[in-house]
Amino acid sequence: MNSNLGVEVRNTKANSLLGILSLSVLFLAILAIAFFIKRADSVLLIGTFLVAFGSYMVLFLKKEKIQISVKTGIVVGVLIRFILVFALPNLSDDFYRFIWDGRLLNHGINPFLELPSYYINSGLHSDFLTLDIYNQLNSQNYFTVYPPVLQGVFGLATYCFPDSVLGSVIVMKSVLFLLEVGSIYCIVALLRHFKKNENAVLLYALNPVVMLEIVGNLHFEGIMIFFLLLFLLLFIKNKKHLSAVSIGIAIVAKLLPLMFLPFLIRRLKWKSIGYFLIVGLTVTLLFLPLLNQTFLTNISESIGLYFQHFEYNGSFYYVFRWLGFRLQGFNMIEFISPFLALTVFVIILYTAFFRDKTNSKELPFYMLLGLTIFYLLSTTVHPWYITTMIALSTLTRFRYPVIWSGLIFLTYINYGYEPFRENIWVVVLEYSVLLGFIVWEINHKKDQVQ
């Protein structure tokens, strides 16, 4: 018996060291990507990411043999995010548009009214709308698509640092950092409420794509994720009015949570009328400061352009696009995209009214299902889009979003080509493995990654 105890102690120490080593490698690899590797260095970028993702997966595939506490994992995840606050995004240049919009706001100009090129072509650029910022924009001839909640963050950042790009970035990242800490707290609280294993929070807290894309590359899915998780927490605690305000803020942050509202109708029954009135009022009040006819026209145009002209990392859409070329000889995106959007809408409504079990424990699953259908039928799927699914997956038995996060980062290989082009074989690999894993998980009906 003493001999067995000695073996167990040695195994515990070895596994603890393995856990510490995995966390250390994850820590260093994430910081290397954020501070030293450029997007165009695709081989080095993906190689370093695979090291980070491999270290992350080691922590979960054999959880019973790796002695890393939830508290330790959360501390490491929060620490990495804090350090990333001070890194200028190197895998995305969207932040220049954030600063452009914020500077307009701070000079009393509605950013939804004109294209950036309007100010330059009309000679209206100045010491705050500089050519240096303009030349970095990837959307010079597109109206802004960022809703008022995000605009508020942009305005705050450029108010604090009117002349400093890095200073403005640090303010915006600080907001996301605080909300990420809030998201981790909400996940733990939800796991406790649902009586699920709290280790699942580390799937989000330590996920390399989540850390790199939200705080690292300054993508505002982080705002939507926090308010969605807060909505869930308030909803299950029967604080319905506050939950309605929370999901209203999430909608204003990204619009995407609108798809979750049908899942509330059968849960709330006749009370859903008052609930949706609160949601609508929240959305209206937050849009009100920038709301006018020009705003509605321009943001509608931008959203339409996004869904009918942008193509990146699509799955089923690419199949339909290929069929369109074979049958009609041209890209039928203007017809295919609305058809796929309608398909998503119909599936969500059918699921909400005929398949949903309507108990609170299953709500995260149906939200995850809605997002899965939406992204599998989308024309454009960037790596940071998956972060919301990872957060929701921690509250369900499904782990395919974690696998998807590792696969989708491979699409950064496209930025290594000059000129830019999409490697279709990476897309085929990504979705083949993903769909295979989804089928496998469904058949097993149990957690596959803990």
Residue with the bigger pLDDT between 10 and 325: it is 325
**Cβ(279)–Cβ(228) below 8 Å:** no
Residue-level pLDDT at 210? 98
Residue-level pLDDT at 424? 94
CA-CA distances (angstroms) from residue 371 to 260, 364, 426?
Answer: 9, 11, 22
Write the pLDDT tens digit of every residue in 232-278: 999 999 999 999 999 999 999 988 999 999 999 999 999 999 999 99
Tell me the mean pLDDT in the region 349-356.
90
d(CA 328, CA 421): 24
**Cβ(211)–Cβ(177) below 8 Å:** no
Write the pLDDT tens digit of every residue in 19-70: 889 999 999 999 999 999 999 999 999 999 999 999 999 988 765 455 678 9
Tell me the mean pLDDT in the region 133-152.
89
Residue-level pLDDT at 338? 86
- Residue 148's pLDDT band, with cuts at 50, 70 and 90, is confident
In the chain, the percentage of residues whose pLDDT exceeds 70 is: 90
- Residue 328's pLDDT band, with cuts at 50, 70 and 90, is confident
Residue-level pLDDT at 8? 40
Report which of 353, 315, 282, 332 is spatially closest to residue 433, judged by C-alpha positions: 315
- Residue 185's pLDDT band, with cuts at 50, 70 and 90, is very high
Residue-level pLDDT at 1? 43
Residue with the bigger pLDDT between 372 and 311: it is 372
d(CA 232, CA 128): 41
Tell me the HSE value of 158 on the side-chain side, using a 13 A CA sphere.
22
Tell me the mean pLDDT in the region 195-200.
92
Angle between helices 272-287 and 148-160 (to 10 degrees): 40
**Cβ(223)–Cβ(176) below 8 Å:** yes
Mean pLDDT is lowest, of 97-101, 272-276, 360-364, for: 360-364
> What tokens appear for 227 in the block?
């308010």
- Is the pLDDT reported for residue 11 higher than 70? no
- Residue 141's pLDDT band, with cuts at 50, 70 and 90, is confident
First to last CA, the chain: 30
Report which of 180, 196, 178 is spatially closest to residue 188, judged by C-alpha positions: 196
Please give the biggest Cα pair distance in the chain. 85
Residue-level pLDDT at 305? 61
Write the pLDDT tens digit of every residue in 395-426: 999 999 999 999 999 999 999 988 888 999 99
Task: Give the list of residues 6+ apart from residue 4 with CB closer than 8 angstroms, or none.
Answer: none
Q: Which of 74-78, 304-308, 420-424 has the highest mean pLDDT?
A: 74-78
- Is the pLDDT reported for residue 312 higher than 60? yes
How many secondary structure helices (H) and strands (E) does the chain include?
21, 0
- Residue 283's pLDDT band, with cuts at 50, 70 and 90, is very high
3-state helix, strand, coil in the chain (%, to 5): 75, 0, 25
**Cβ(210)–Cβ(390) below 8 Å:** yes
The residue to which tokens 């590792």 are assigned: 406
Q: What is the mean pLDDT of the chain?
A: 89
Report which of 359, 335, 341 is spatially closest to residue 259, judged by C-alpha positions: 341
d(CA 22, CA 58): 7
Angle between helices 148-160 and 221-236 (to 10 degrees): 120
Residue-level pLDDT at 303? 64
Residues in a beta bridge with 380: 312
Residue-level pLDDT at 294? 66
**Cβ(29)–Cβ(56) below 8 Å:** no
Residue-level pLDDT at 306? 58
Residue-level pLDDT at 307? 60
Residue-level pLDDT at 260? 96
